[in-house]
Structure 1
Amino acid sequence: MTQQAAAMQTYNNELAKCIEDLREKREELNSQIRQEEEEKERLQHDIRLLTDKLSRVNESLTQRLAARATFDQTLAETEAAYAKILESSQSLLSVLKQQTGNLSKATQPRRKEH
């Protein structure tokens, strides 16, 4: 029976070692899980911050795009009005030159015909 007891003791030692190895691997896995959970929390926090920042940038961009559209409309209207003013000024100048020419002719002394 001593041989059986020795074999039993060997099996018992190997079993205990296997159980201890499994516990160490489990603790190692637990450590990795904790690290990944911490990383996950950090990433989720970063995502929340970036989502908030994206929302603020989108809001600002929308306001700036609306302001630019207003500037574009104002510029277009102002340029069109200015073009009309230039056209009217050109017409006025043409009329004024014509009238000045007519007035000059009217005020010149007439030549006597013989």
Structure 2
Amino acid sequence: MAQQAAALQTYNNELVKCIEDLYHSRDEDDRQTRDEEAEKDRVQHDVRVLTEKLSRLNESLAQRYAKRATLDRTIAESEAAYSKILESSQALLSILKQEAGSHSKASESRRKEQ
């Protein structure tokens, strides 16, 4: 009977140890779960912050692209207008040179006639 009592005591001790090990495993799992939940919260916060930053950057870029398109259009229109001014100036200069030439010839003819 003493042998059975010793075996029962051994089984009891092993059972208690197994239950304690399960408690420790559960506690460790709980700790890891809390750590992961905290990390998940940090990552979600970072995602929100980065999403907001991305949104602001996209809005800023859209405004810059629109501004650039307006500037490109203004530059093109200004260059076209400037080209027309150059053409008109060249035409006016050509006409003035012709007129000056005509007046010079007329003045020379009058001088020779006098």
TM-score higher than 0.5 here? yes
> Does structure 1 residue 100 correspond to structure 2 residue 100?
yes
Identity of aligned residues (%): 65
Give per-residue Cα distances to partners, 1:54-81, cap 9 Å, x unaligned: 1111111111110110000000000000
Aligned pairs for 1:48-59 (under 5 A) are 48-59=48-59
Q: Distance in 2 between matches of 1:92 and 1:111?
A: 31
Query: Number of residue pairs matched?
Result: 112
Q: Which runs of 5+ in 2 are unaligned?
A: none
Paired residue type of 2:30: N
Give per-residue Cα distances to partners, 1:81-110, cap 9 Å, x unaligned: 001100110111011111100100001123
Q: Distance in 2 between matches of 1:100 and 1:61?
A: 57
TM normalised by structure 1 equals: 0.94
Give per-residue Cα distances to partners, 1:20-62, cap 9 Å, x unaligned: 0111011011101100000000000110011111111111111
Aligned pairs for 1:1-114 (under 5 A) are 1-108=1-108, 109-110=111-112
CA-based RMSD of the aligned residues comes to 1.2
